[in-house]
Structure 1
Amino acid sequence: MTATIALLAELVGFDTTSSRSNLALVGRVADRLDGIGARVRLSHDEGRGKANILASFGPCAPGGVVLSGHTDTVPVDDQSWSSDPFRLSERDGKLHGRGAVDMKGFIAACLAAAESFAATDLARPVHIALSYDEEVGCLGVPGLIADLLAHEERPELAIIGEPTLMRLGDRHRGFLGFRTRFEGKAAHSSDPSAGASAIYPAADFAGFLRAVGHRAGAIDRTTVNLGRIEGGSAINIVPSACELLWEFRPVTPEDAEETERLVGAYLARATPPDIRQSTRRQVHVPPLASAGTEPALAVAAALGGIGPPFAMPFGTEAGFFQAAGISAVVCGPGSIAQAHQPDEWIACAQLEAADAFMARLAGWACRRHS
């Protein structure tokens, strides 16, 4: 575990907040993995300021496993930390630092195990796949999966190491984020009839979203949330524009289609003729579905993942792998309760459990028969 902690300290030292480039971390990790014999590929965003890493060990053959994590973190702005968030510190068996649990702890365990992957006669490949911009909508992982499928044989399964306390997460809702804009006509407020207020139809739409999405049972039902409204310029001007940022979290792809149909039908019938309306999807994270018989679930359980499988309240990149025909499960060290918090931490005992999981995975990958 000493090697994993040392690697975690190095990873935390890179400020990879989603608003910043991750290339310094990517370069360091890619050099390390290339140096021990991995087949390393980088795939960049359009501006080439960020990159995914794909590092493959073993034969170029089907039936492998993907260890998936993301390199970006949420900001530390407006959070009160007891220590430097970009310097790993240990207190009472807890390792504190931004990204320590979400999810550089899992990445450190993967990197620590990489030497054993390189030194073992693997019968099936092991892929370490690290993406950018997960925290702002899983923007990097589609390109990472495309790169994987274009240059390696299709893996059998993917293990996404989001913090679950090493429990087996086999399902979660998706996430779709939208921006809806209403545009009217500005006028002096002494004669509102000379203009067309964009705020009134926006307010009506907000009420519609609340009626559709104000429900209980958040994990197993589609929910809707309005996160932000912005419009108008002054108290004495009829507002010419108003924007709403809203999202919904579907349980299944069919739920997603139905919710988008309901919203589209409402906007078509309820938008006044003197108002222009546009709605643009900005984020799409697919749900992770489970029938309880996925290969990834069985393998992760055999490697030490803790059952019974559970439904996660948060989204992950797992649905992208499943949509690409790769069986996926979520299982990683640490608790999601510590993620995104000031003084974020991961327990040393959780890293030890992740190391044991990786050691078993190396043994599984070198066996000729499952």
Structure 2
Amino acid sequence: MSLPPFLNLYKDIIAIPSISSTDSSWDQSNLQVINQLATWLEQLGFKNEIEAVKNAPGKYNLIATLGEGDGGLLLSGHTDTVPYDEKLWTTDPFTVVEKDDRLYGLGTIDMKGFFVFIIEALKEIDLTKLKKPLRILATADEETSMAGAQQIGQQKKFKPDYAIIGEPTGLSPVVMHKGNMSEGIRITGRTGHSSDPEAGLNAIEVMYLVINELKKVQQKLKDNYSNPHFKVPYPTLNFGAIHGGDSPNRICGCCELHIDMRPIPGLTTNELFMMIKQALSEIEKRYPKSVDVYHLHEPIPSYQCPLHSDLIENAEIYTGNSAESANYCTEAPFIQQLGCDTIVLGPGHIAQAHQADEYLDLSFVKPTKSVIEKMIKHYCS
């Protein structure tokens, strides 16, 4: 049985909803997408392993392998999409619409469509001539917890020499990006009547002290850390949300602050977390058991491909584009745990991701197929 043509493959994969969300009313299993990819890849001679993601019930990874042993090339992507706002979309998100030299649909670039490019490139290659293993990895829940990629990185079942993650980079090789940390700081005070403020412990007033200390950390990061490859060269700390109190005539008993931090390569998520803890240590001593610092989600490390890697050199040659950095996060730091040089490289632009009327510009079709073919032949032949 022959595989469907390019456009039909695209239509089939986009038609399968696979939203991941922290909101349970949106969250969906990705198993149907995994099964469809496995069916297509099996027709090309791949051996498939479908595994449940332990920390994400109902979610699955696919490891499809052509060849034996370690080494070779890994092509990787995630099978989930973000939710969508039906009122803002002018087309059905799950129906690929071709218009104005574009393919519209949820996941066309971010990033189920990348698997279609892989399959289309494989159609043009004599796979019997490959001498090193080629693996296709399809992960779950990148848009929320990255649980799928984290599990792959922890298991270390295989070790490719090189890996390419097909996120939308405008077909420019991304070789480093910042990490992401979302942290919560909760102050638990003692409530009471506002007519006697000293009878309680006002959580808002303690949070004021916390913010002052975090402002110092903010400046310390700016003064002491720098990477010129990023538009914002230093690690950032952003005050994102604050909630506290319930009435002006009560002493505030609880106040919570949520912050976002973006570590650069060379600064680990644990170092940054401990920097926050150290900054608040005196406040914790002054108000015992009143200060709680915790992760809102598991931290995502920063990532950098070794700058000497010939993967970068070949990516620049094959695409005609220079390597660059990115401010968004990907699964790269977890894939890199497999021991392989890793870059992020795929069709479409990040500006179209997470937007209504997401689309793939058809001008990416030929060059993307060509790059994938060249990479497979170079690293697996």
User: TM-score by structure 1 length?
Assistant: 0.88
Q: Which residue of 2 aligns with 1:185?
A: 190
Q: Which stretch shifts more, 178-187 or 269-278? A: 269-278
The answer as to 2:168 corresponding to 1:163 is yes
User: 1:68 and 1:246, CA in 2 relative to 1: closer, same or farther beyond 3 A?
Assistant: same
Number of residue equivalences: 361
Could you tell me whether the CA contact under 8 Å between 1:38 and 1:55 is conserved in 2?
yes
- 2:17 maps to what in 1? 15
Other-structure match for 1:50: 59
Distance 1:239 1:218 in 2: 40
The superposition leaves residues 41-71 of structure 1 with CA deviations (integer Å, 9 ceiling, x where unpaired) of 12323353111111111x2123211111111
Determine helix, strand or coil for the equivalent of 1:30: helix
**8 Å Cα contact 1:157-1:295 kept in structure 2:** no
Residues 62-71 or 115-124, more deviating: 115-124
Q: Secondary structure at the match of 2:291?
A: strand
Counterpart position of 1:336: 350
Identical-pair percentage: 29
Given residue 334 of structure 1, which amino acid in structure 2 is its aligned partner? Answer: G
Alignment counterpart, residue 102 of structure 1, candidates 90, 98, 110? 110
Cα distance in structure 2, aligned partners of 1:41 and 1:30: 9
Mapped contact 1:181–1:241 kept (Cα < 8 A): yes
Equivalent residue number for residue 172 of structure 1 = 177
From the superposition, tell whether residues 55 and 255 of structure 1 become closer, same or farther in structure 2 (CA, over 3 Å).
closer
Q: Secondary structure at the match of 1:167?
A: coil
Alignment of 1:300-311 (within 5 A): 300-302=315-317, 304-311=318-325
Could you say which residue in structure 2 is the equivalent of 1:250? 263
TM-score by length of 2: 0.86
Q: Post-superposition shift, 1:318?
A: 1.3
Q: 1:4, 1:351 within 8 Å by CA — same for their partners in 2?
A: no
Q: Secondary structure at the match of 1:129?
A: strand
Instruction: Note if 1:294 corresponds to 2:302.
Output: no
Whether the 8 Å CA contact 2:269–2:300 is kept in 1: the answer is no
8 Å Cα contact 2:134-2:380 kept in structure 1: no
Q: Aligned equivalents of 1:274 and 1:11: distance in 2?
A: 54
For the residues of structure 2 that align with 1:236 and 1:15, how far apart are their CA atoms?
Answer: 49
Distance 1:240 1:118 in 2: 68
User: How far apart are the structure 2 equivalents of 1:210 and 1:138?
Assistant: 30
Quick one: which amino acid aligns to residue 100 of structure 1? Answer: T
Pair 1:240 & 2:249 matched: no
How far apart in 1 are the matches of 2:278 and 2:292?
A: 13
Change (3 A) 1:98 1:146: same
In 2, the alpha carbon distance for the partners of 1:131 and 1:248 equals 25
Q: Compute the displacement of 1:294 (Å).
A: 1.3
Unaligned runs of 5+ in 1: none
Query: Quick check: 1:313 aligned with 2:318?
Result: no
In the TM superposition, 1:136-285 aligns within 5 A as 136-147=144-155, 149-150=156-157, 152=158, 154-213=159-218, 218-254=231-267, 256-271=269-284, 272-273=286-287, 276-281=290-295, 282-285=297-300
Higher mean C-alpha deviation, range 173-182 or range 88-97: 173-182
Q: CA deviation at 1:115?
A: 4.7
Residue identity opposite 2:58 in structure 1: G
Query: In the aligned structure 2, how far is the partner of 1:123 from the partner of 1:36?
Result: 16
Secondary structure of 1:364 counterpart: helix
Amino acid aligned to 1:13: A
Q: Does residue 327 of structure 1 match 2:330?
A: no
- Tell which deviates more after alignment, 308-317 or 225-234: 225-234
Aligned CA RMSD, in angstroms, stands at: 2.5
Decide whether aligned partners of structure 1 residues 56 and 187 sit closer, same or farther in structure 2, where only a CA change above 3 A counts: same
Between the aligned partners of 2:18 and 2:196, the Cα distance in structure 1 is 51
Q: Which amino acid aligns with 1:55?
A: A
